[in-house]
Structure 1
């Protein structure tokens, strides 16, 4: 991997099942080499802010060692945005679990939760002096759906119980990262990017109405209620290992 970056779950999956990727090609985004050009384009389009993500695998490749080349790259990106009067919005996790973390169980593992909180704290300490807006996760429900319900993310399980455990641990990681951010007394703000798609019942049949209600609980309320209202619904607790 280039300049200290380690493999993610996506890198590993591509080696295993290349045919499941579009045109059997890896991600061809080249922001790493052309970030200055991309930021210039954003400025020319009159962007006043730009959201991007830090790759956990690039900043902390082996769980605990911070990669100097990763620090240098993200400092350059953030400074380039500010130089162009573009406010950086920095997301910490956009589906790319380090493969070493996946081997420990991914979001099924509380050890991985601890590792994420260390990663988040490192990001806050390194970049929080210039970043006014952090987000912890991009659409966390998509990871649950894809990885454990519908078989379109690695590790390709169809296991409802594992999905709910991963959801719970992701929520714990979010809460602890927020706590660390507050403890550091940074001037910026922090949140989460949720994917909210309300269910529409197929009919007014009682079973369809009930199915839509449960689907919303599993895909919307499971993150929205704890993050906004600080409550976790009893109905969900019944199916979640806590």
Structure 2
């Protein structure tokens, strides 16, 4: 018997319950596969351009910083300017995602770009987002060989690129996009939802930035949808 079946069998035994009847099993299967959303807030039922503005406002309220770009090709200069403004390291660990392959980093030679998973010594990371959630200003990050999750957490400074067309209204919308891209039952190994830079006030209610991840989060929104 597979380990999964053994676990569920033990749970049913401890609950004093046998296997589900076919009718109940089918009802549960239908519910799980239906992905019916819960209550959706009206504040996201707005035109897409307004959703993008709402995402920016919510992200900023969470202590992230946001810049709007006209084109993806503007990313290298925007990254350089951000690092210079905050006196940060120009050594950047960049995700090996194809979205960055043709960017003109040769025009910003002061940046030292390497690609791959993050190491503890990396201070700045550059990654793409899978989606943005206007409802809360949250980034949805899908892991994969080209988007290592370590880039989201190890460096103290995280710069994220997201196309305006990838910003959606709600959390439910982002899950729908994940299922559409990867297929139901075949989701990425890790999906991270990031709302602002890492912080905690667990100790004496003193706000500490960078407690469990990046101290700074900078979001570059590329206005690609007109």
Q: Which TM bucket (shorter chain)? A: under 0.3
Instruction: Name whichever structure is richer in helix by fraction.
Output: 1
TM-score by length of 1: 0.27
Higher RCO, 1 or 2 (CA under 8 Å, sep at least 6)?
2
TM-score by length of 2: 0.28
Bigger Rg, structure 1 or 2: 2
Instruction: Name whichever structure is richer in strand by fraction.
Output: 2
